[in-house]
């Protein structure tokens, strides 16, 4: 057991401040904890719970009698109270009459809030953490839902030969900045899930308070659970298929139940909208079907009506452009857990299995696809950058096989980053002095102009050097510790004191190490890289970090290859690999880098927010045009590495793209960095830095991202759900059933066109009449459209536009004529066709049902 400290009454507010994670991005609160004991604050890894557990009672007694400290403590507590209770952006929108959801359930398998709560592995978790923080800053009433992993992800170390080693330290929840949700009688609040051929699985609920936002984390280390259940929340992304399936059932089904328990015990509003990130939490939709149809305390809807209600209020975000990143389980395994008497009683197992079946061309009907289920259970879905939206529409178009890629109903909202977490304190203070508030509710675009226009170049450059110097010191400390862990004696490590140089162009590269991120692209020509590192006039230095998945030996070999190169005495002062990349390492890394390198295999980077963090810290991006960089690179805010798209020989492609990288570094990046004026300031570089803040600053903020989610997804989902009472939902379900049953009889029988003559000219009016059979459907059940646009040599329409045709006449035998006109407004190849789509006021996209009739 862990014994929590007893604070003097005068210092009780320290405990409150420690348990609200706003301290993660609030420097004044951090300063207060540092004042308690500066050495302990540093040695604890800036962990206030650990600090308060270790500080001497005499020191606490001293602080309890210190009027100045008590005044600062009272001010910090008052500031937190004002932050969590005051009106913010969201509340002002509600007060202005906007229809916004009273609460949103936000599900993710991982959350990266702080290094002292290690419940994340990479980009998805960091993004989820930033989403919660930005929601808190904006007052968006989100409740996060995840799991509490006893061993987190893993700690990375290196063997003497550079091979990655993993360890899994045990985390004691009592020593973390979280609290246990309890019933009124003080007992642990529990959720219970039926398991096949065994006792129920029990999970308790831990709450991390992220500013205004509660994050619920389920934990199966509960008295009464057998060992195999205790192990369900052992580690992130570990174990075999059944282990992962149990985790995802707990996250989805147990997560919904945890929300209900939390609402009951705290009075927090129940979510109107549910947001699932990746398919990992997809089973939340099945639990909602059970609540709506089979729960004795629910509305008692039939299953089809329940599906409409659940879909209308669900948002699904896909985060991967890589099929291997999607969880797929054997159909038979899912059947075991959801059969009669299973985890969601009352929902027939056949209906559950149908949600995840790959019943499309190229699919495998023997597997259950979690992403496919996610799309089927959500009326609104999105990717995480514009390019990723395009990739996702192509990747999942099998679900809507008769539609062009552009009409597949998957949108995009580009990720953002939480600036107060990631931007160096000195830069935040500089921005504030020049009128830019990147804290709080986020900066408006025009506010960045003041920073761009008024901050002196000398001041900017002096600050960047101090941040680079700080990174150099941190890298030396971490490198020495790594070598000692690898077995080196202190006597042979004097060289680490000279690693890196605060006056040398510093390039950062840090991320997970799947093959498509290409950790070792920089090593394609080792000799040329050596020349760049050791250039007598324009040297560069590299700080590299990243973890390979424990089961990915290929990724581990990439790490080893990079480490062995960095171990070479010839270059080891210019390139370092720092093991155990996490939030604590990232926070000094981004500000200290001049250039952020990203060279994934395009288009496999869904978004990639690390470059955003670098940009806000005055770094320039050097990246393949992938993810967010494809969207917002403008030719002046960094450099684009040309990609050899279409070359199937991967070695050849890597060679070409590596050569382009070397050329950019040698010919453009390094010369600009070292082109300094009489005051030692590279004015050309500083102008690029200014332009980066101007062009990217407002766009890359997580507050912009969360606002986009509220406006484009959360608010419309709440509105759609609000329109579906029991009767409306039943009518919609009946309508869909009828349309599907009769759609095979819907056809475009004949199309007539006139008005253009034998030689059509620009300005002519094309009049179209389409004769359509509706198979017993009413004209109001469909929309008849004219598709038109330019054509290819193979007579295919390119990016066609649509014009709605209107009902002109109905005939016996269920035939109808639809008419329309179109003015020909450009010369060249032109083509058209007619199609019929289902139409209903409660559909949100023409392709939602996946049905279309063509001639």
Pair of tokens at residue 525: 């020509």
The one-character DSSP state at 253 is I
pLDDT tens digit string along 232-249?
999 999 889 999 999 999
Residue 815, Cβ density class (10 Å: 0-12 exposed, 13-18 middle, ≥19 buried): middle
Sign of the torsion angle spanned by Cα atoms 273, 277, 281, 285: positive
pLDDT tens digit string along 662-681?
999 999 999 999 999 999 99
pLDDT tens digit string along 142-197?
999 999 999 999 999 999 999 999 999 999 999 999 999 999 999 999 999 999 97
Mean pLDDT across the stretch 606-635? Answer: 96
Band (445; pLDDT cuts 50, 70, 90):
low
The pLDDT, as a whole number, for residue 4 is 67
Cis peptide before 463 (omega within 30 of 0): no
Mean pLDDT across the stretch 464-488? Answer: 97
pLDDT tens digit string along 818-849?
999 988 888 888 889 999 999 999 999 999 99
The residues facing 566 across adjacent strands are none
Whether 833 contacts 853, CB under 8 Å: no
Measured CA to CA, the distance from residue 480 to residue 497 in angstroms comes to 8
Measured CA to CA, the distance from residue 772 to residue 748 in angstroms comes to 5
Is 1 a residue whose pLDDT tops 60? no
Measured CA to CA, the distance from residue 345 to residue 338 in angstroms comes to 8
What integer best gives the mean pLDDT of the chain?
A: 94
Better-predicted residue by pLDDT, 812 or 226: 226
The residues facing 695 across adjacent strands are none
Pair of tokens at residue 582: 């996490």
Whether 675 contacts 665, CB under 8 Å: no
Pair of tokens at residue 602: 């395009």
The pLDDT, as a whole number, for residue 397 is 93
Mean pLDDT across the stretch 116-141? Answer: 96
Band (765; pLDDT cuts 50, 70, 90):
confident
Mean pLDDT across the stretch 777-787? Answer: 95
* Global model pTM greater than 0.75: yes
What is the strand order of the sheet 747-754 is part of? Answer: 747-754, 765-773, 815-823, 806-811
The pLDDT, as a whole number, for residue 10 is 95
The pLDDT, as a whole number, for residue 322 is 84
Mean pLDDT across the stretch 369-388? Answer: 97
The pLDDT, as a whole number, for residue 741 is 96
CB neighbours (10 Å) of residue 270?
A: 13
Whether 685 contacts 675, CB under 8 Å: yes
Measured CA to CA, the distance from residue 23 to residue 17 in angstroms comes to 7
Band (813; pLDDT cuts 50, 70, 90):
confident
pLDDT tens digit string along 695-719?
998 899 999 999 999 999 999 999 9
- For 394-458, the three-class secondary structure string (H helix, E strand, C coil) is HHCHHHCCCCCHHHCCCEECCCCECHHHHCCHHHHHHHHHCCCCCCCCCCCCCHHHHHHHHCCHH
The pLDDT, as a whole number, for residue 447 is 64
Q: Which secondary structure element, helix H or strand E, spans residue 304, and what is its range?
A: helix 303-312
The pLDDT, as a whole number, for residue 796 is 84
Band (446; pLDDT cuts 50, 70, 90):
low
Measured CA to CA, the distance from residue 803 to residue 800 in angstroms comes to 10
Closest CA to 782 of 819, 732, 832, 739: 739
pLDDT tens digit string along 516-543?
999 999 999 999 999 999 999 999 999 9
Mean pLDDT across the stretch 537-563? Answer: 96
The pLDDT, as a whole number, for residue 198 is 82
The one-character DSSP state at 145 is E
Band (272; pLDDT cuts 50, 70, 90):
very high
Mean pLDDT across the stretch 8-13? Answer: 95
Mean pLDDT across the stretch 437-442? Answer: 67
């Amino acid at each position: 057991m862990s014994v929590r400290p007893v604070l003097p009454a005068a210092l009780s507010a320290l405990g409150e401040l420690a348990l609200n994670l706003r301290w993660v991005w609030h420097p004044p609160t951090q300063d207060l904890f540092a004042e308690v004991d500066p050495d302990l604050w540093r040695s604890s890894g800036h962990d206030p719970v650990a600090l308060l557990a270790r500080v001497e009672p005499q020191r606490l007694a001293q602080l309890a009698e210190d009027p100045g400290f008590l005044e600062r403590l009272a001010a910090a507590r008052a500031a937190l109270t004002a932050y969590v209770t005051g009106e913010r952006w969201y509340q002002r929108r509600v007060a202005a009459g906007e229809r916004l959801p009273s609460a949103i359930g936000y599900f993710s398998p991982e959350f990266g809030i702080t290094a002292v709560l290690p419940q994340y592995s990479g980009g998805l978790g960091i993004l989820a953490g930033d989403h919660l923080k930005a929601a808190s800053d904006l007052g968006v009433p989100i409740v996060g839902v995840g799991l509490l992993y006893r061993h987190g992800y893993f700690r990375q170390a290196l063997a003497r030969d550079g091979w990655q080693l993993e360890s899994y330290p045990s985390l004691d929840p009592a020593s973390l900045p979280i609290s246990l949700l309890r019933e009124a009688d003080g007992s642990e609040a529990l959720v219970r899930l039926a398991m096949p051929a065994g006792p129920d699985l029990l999970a308790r609920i831990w709450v991390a308070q992220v500013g205004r936002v509660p994050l619920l984390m389920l934990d199966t280390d509960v008295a009464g659970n057998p060992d195999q259940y205790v192990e369900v929340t052992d580690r992130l992304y570990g174990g075999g298929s059944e282990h992962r399936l149990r985790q995802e059932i707990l996250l989805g089904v147990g997560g919904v139940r945890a929300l209900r328990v939390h609402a009951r015990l705290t009075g927090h509003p129940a979510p109107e909208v549910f947001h699932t990130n990746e398919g990992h939490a997809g089973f939340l939709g099945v639990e909602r079907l059970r609540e709506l149809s089979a729960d004795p305390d629910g509305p008692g809807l039939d299953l089809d009506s329940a599906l409409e209600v659940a879909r209308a209020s669900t948002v699904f975000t896909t985060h991967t452009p890589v099929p291997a990143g999607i969880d797929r389980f054997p159909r038979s395994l899912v059947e075991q857990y959801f059969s009669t008497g299973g985890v969601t009683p009352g929902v027939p197992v056949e209906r559950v299995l149908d949600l995840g079946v790959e019943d499309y061309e190229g699919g495998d009907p023997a597997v259950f696809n979690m992403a496919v289920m996610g799309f089927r259970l959500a009326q609104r879905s999105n990717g995480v950058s514009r390019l990723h939206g395009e990739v996702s529409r192509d990747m999942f178009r099998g679900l809507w096989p008769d539609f062009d890629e552009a009409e597949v109903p998957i949108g995009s909202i580009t990720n953002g980053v939480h600036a107060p977490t990631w931007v160096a304190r000195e830069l935040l203070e500089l921005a504030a002095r020049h009128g830019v508030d990147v804290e709080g509710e986020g900066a408006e675009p025009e506010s960045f102009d003041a920073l761009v226009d008024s901050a002196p170049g000398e001041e900017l450059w002096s600050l960047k050097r101090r941040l680079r110097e700080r990174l150099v010191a941190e890298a030396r400390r971490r490198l020495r510790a790594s070598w000692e862990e690898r077995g080196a004696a202190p006597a042979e490590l004097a060289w680490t004191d000279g690693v890196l140089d605060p006056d040398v162009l510093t390039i950062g590269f840090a991320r997970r190490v799947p093959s498509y991120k290409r950790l070792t692209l920089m090593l394609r020509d080792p000799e040329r890289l050596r020349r760049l590192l050791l250039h007598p006039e324009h040297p560069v230095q590299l700080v590299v970090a990243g973890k390979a998945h424990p089961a990915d030996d290929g990724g581990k070999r990439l790490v080893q290859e990079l480490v062995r190169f960095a171990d070479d005495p010839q270059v080891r002062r210019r390139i370092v690999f720092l093991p155990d990349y996490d939030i604590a390492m990232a926070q000094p890394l981004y500000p200290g880098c001049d250039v952020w390198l990203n060279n994934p295999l395009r288009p496999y980077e869904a978004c990639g927010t690390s470059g955003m963090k670098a940009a806000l810290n005055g770094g320039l991006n050097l990246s393949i045009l992938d993810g967010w960089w494809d969207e917002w690179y403008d030719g002046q805010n960094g450099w684009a590495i040309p990609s050899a798209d279409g070359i199937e020989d991967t070695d050849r492609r890597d060679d070409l793209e590596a050569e382009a990288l070397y050329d950019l570094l040698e010919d453009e990046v390094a010369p600009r960095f070292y082109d300094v004026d009489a005051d030692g300031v590279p004015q050309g570089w500083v102008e690029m830095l200014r332009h980066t803040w101007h062009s990217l600053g407002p766009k890359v903020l997580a507050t912009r991202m969360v606002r986009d989610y509220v406006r484009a997804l959360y608010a419309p989902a709440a509105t759609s759900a609000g329109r579906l009472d029991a009767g409306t939902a039943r009518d919609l379900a009946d309508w869909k059933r009828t349309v599907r049953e009769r759609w095979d009889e819907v056809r475009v029988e004949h199309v007539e066109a006139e008005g253009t003559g034998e030689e059509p000219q620009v300005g002519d009016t094309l009049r179209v009449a389409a004769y359509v059979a509706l198979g017993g459907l009413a004209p109001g059940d469909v929309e008849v459209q004219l598709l038109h646009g330019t054509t290819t040599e193979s007579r295919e329409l390119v990016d066609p536009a649509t014009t709605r045709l209107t009902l002109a006449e109905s005939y016996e035998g269920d035939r109808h004529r639809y008419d329309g006109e179109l003015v020909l407004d450009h010369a060249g190849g032109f083509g058209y066709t007619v199609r019929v789509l289902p139409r209903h006021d409660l559909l949100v996209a023409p392709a939602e049902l996946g049905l279309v009739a063509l001639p």
